[in-house]
A and B are shown apart, each in its own frame.
Chain A
Amino acid sequence: MAAVTTRAERIGHPIAIVAIIVVTLIFLAPILWITSTAFKPRAVATSVPPTVIFQPEVTPFVKLFTKRVQLREQPTQEVYDAAPWWEQAIFDNGERVLRVRGNVQPSQYGNRFINSLIVAGLSTILAVGMGTFTAYGFSRFKIAGRDDLLFFILSTRMLPPIVVAIPMFLMYRTFSLTDTHIGLIILYTAFNLSFAVWLMKGFMDEIPKEYEEAALVDGYTRMQAFFKIVLPEATTGIAATAVFSFIIAWNEYAFALILTNRRAQTAPPFIPSQIGSGVVDWTAIAAGTFLFLLPVAIFTFLLRNHLLRGVTFGAIRK
């Protein structure tokens, strides 16, 4: 197989490369745009046509993490010289950083970001954990009405979630779950569970049952066999399921907007909420969006090997 290349393969190669580059650029364009805006001076952020070459600066990030107000009068030279570089950059923008008794007032972005990490992270762990066990059960045991149950589980994903927004809101209010982390975690876990069960069942079916049977014969309980043999074999599937679940929970906007407003609010509804307060500063919003993209990118990057095998599963295993 190694040495033999057909004519079609040789001709197809450059075309394939061009196609891959074009598609990649199309997908990356918005990300490149938002990334460059996150480092742009405010003056050129919304210029038409877009400025491509500029002196990058980190001022947008300083703005993102601080509370600021418009300058009414220029600071004295003394004050300006005494300020750290990042505060000077804010002065240069015609704003000043809000200080209370000398302490810089942080914006809410950090909190919202941490909320996002907590909610998306925990709901992913719960959905993938429960999904893995459930899928194992469906894959290995005779369960009365198995196919119906599986269909029922999937059917929870058959309508747009927003359809149930009002009943959800009322239920959450009744149970005092609005604006709580646990509320969002429960919701996102429920969202992702059906998906995790289906995905993991595919992976579980791929793992030969002889592996566990051998472990049973070797004197292990089914539970031990599951943890020692099945789980390590399922890591690829778990990684793939975790990435997808995390992305869905991380990016969820509608329910976060409806069910949270302060304490437990996640980043997605928070970022656009800045638009409403005073002048729209697109560079700060871009900086927030840029940082928001990072966790998913890092998570996906860390699991990339598993993921590649995961999305092509079935093609690789026999």
Chain B
Amino acid sequence: MTQVALDHVSKKFGANVAVNDLSLDIADGEFFVLLGPTGAGKTTTLRLIAGLEKPDSGRVLIGGEDASSWSVAERDVALVFQYYSLYPRYTVGENLAFPLKSRVHNYSADEIAQRVDTAAKLLRIDHLLDRKTDKLSGGEMQRVSIGRAIVREPTIFLMDEPLSNLDAKLRESLRSELKDLQIKLGATFLFVTHDQIEAMSMGDKVGILHDGKIVQVGTPFEIYNQPRDRFVASFVGSPAMNLVDVTLADGKLSAGSGLDVALTDAGRSRLSGHEGALTLGVRAEDVAVDSEGVIEARVHHVENHGVEKIVTLRTGDQLIKATVPAISQYAIEDSVRFSINQAKLHGFDRTTGTALTSG
């Protein structure tokens, strides 16, 4: 069942199109992640759903009904703002209780106390309940902000980059706690982030937003393995997918300057029928550095990431990234050979950026 949907929604600020003919379906109980670079329109999308902005055209549907004429309170959503907006004169406890004290909800004093307590324990802010919010660290504020959303049971939780100010450890634990909470409550989440690791690890579904448009909606697996266009391919994944402009002719890929690869059967089956100019995409983990490799290169740069290393290889004037085990040793300007896992090749139209390969 659809819990929240956007139906061809557009929103302009002056001449600036923040959200452009956007359609989206979020199913009941789904953890939907909206992923996009800064300025993509993520915050605006959340505000449109919450009713804090009115769409210029299109409709917002909540529980299948047109919510256009509903007030913010009537939409009964919970929103964690990107820039935490805790009530400055209240203590942490009062902030958490504030949504429950609204006349719309009608909770008893006992229930309020109990809900505040549960949320505070979950977010590990129970020792801060009597503290004024201007005496909190950024991470503590953000947790209070999340707490204010989860004390009640809204139709949908809207969260605007709620983990962005936390340290890595806290972020990781809150990531799984939010996910657990969502499963436990069976709640619908729309979670906005520009952090792809968050998106991939938390989302049942991920929507990629770019320039106010949804580019692709799919499971994290689909987004990662079947990017619909060059933007998704380059935006999702770390390091970013290698993208090389090549020409395909006579079963051979050539990039003008030195890079010449004959297609194997696997490669041919992925790119057949797309002779001519195209953009080739290869993920770093699909680049294998070994002495049997068909392409010659020099080591341009080495980054140590702990569990693995990322080596940048230079061949001709192309730079290609490859992941290698952490124990392998490479020095800059070492001469190496590498090959490409052609079963995992991606091809994109040179001009439109649309994916030519699928699956």
Interface residues of A (CB under 8 A from B): 208, 210-211, 213-221, 224, 229, 232-233
Contact = CB atoms under 8 A, between A and B. Distances in A.
B88 A218 contact: no
**A contacts with B: majority SS:** helix
Contact of B102 (A208, A213, A218, A229): A218
A219 B85 contact: no
Contacts of A224: 102
Q: Which of A214, A220, A229 has the most CB of B within 10 A?
A: A214
Given A211-B88, A233-B88, A233-B89, A219 B99 contact: yes
A219 B87 contact: no
A221 B102 CA distance: 9
B136 interface: no
A140 to B, nearest CB: 12
A214 B79 contact: yes
Given A214-B79, A217-B52, A220-B73, 12 more contacts: A208-B83, A211-B87, A211-B88, A213-B79, A213-B85, A214-B86, A214-B148, A216-B73, A217-B73, A217-B79, A219-B103, A224-B102
Contacts of A229: 87
Given A229-B87, A233-B88, A233-B89, A214 B81 contact: yes
B148 A208 contact: no
Given A210-B81, A210-B83, A213-B52, A219 B73 contact: yes
A213 B158 CA distance: 13
Nearest to B52: A213
B246 interface: no
Given A208-B85, A211-B87, A229-B87, A217 B50 contact: yes
A214 B78 CA distance: 9
Given A211-B87, A211-B88, A219 B77 contact: no
A220 B79 contact: no
B76 interface: yes
Contacts of B77: 217
B98 interface: yes
A213 B77 CA distance: 12
Q: Which of A208, A210, A215, A218 has the most CB of B within 10 A?
A: A218
Interface residues of B, number: 24
B15 interface: no
B41 to A, nearest CB: 18
Contacts of A215: 87, 98
B131 interface: no
Interface string B270-292: 00000000000000000000000
Contacts of B102: 218-220, 224
B104 interface: yes
Q: Across chains A and B, which 10 residue pairs bring their CB atoms closest together, nearest first?
A: A219-B102, A210-B85, A218-B99, A219-B104, A216-B72, A217-B79, A214-B85, A219-B73, A232-B89, A213-B52
B274 to A, nearest CB: 49
B105 interface: yes
B131 to A, nearest CB: 18
A255 B79 CA distance: 54
A219 B105 contact: yes
Contacts of B83: 208, 210
A213 B81 CA distance: 9
A233 B71 CA distance: 24
Nearest to B79: A217
Contact of A217 (B72, B87, B89): B72
Nearest to B98: A218
Contacts of A217: 50, 52, 72-73, 77-79
B154 to A, nearest CB: 9
Contacts of A218: 98-99, 102, 148
Q: Which of B51, B76, B99 has the most CB of A within 10 A?
A: B99
Contacts of A214: 79, 81, 85-87, 148
Contacts of B105: 219
B160 to A, nearest CB: 11
A216 B89 CA distance: 17
Contacts of A232: 89
A210 B50 CA distance: 13
Contacts of B72: 213, 216-217
B353 to A, nearest CB: 36
Contacts of B104: 219
Interface in B34-55: 50-52
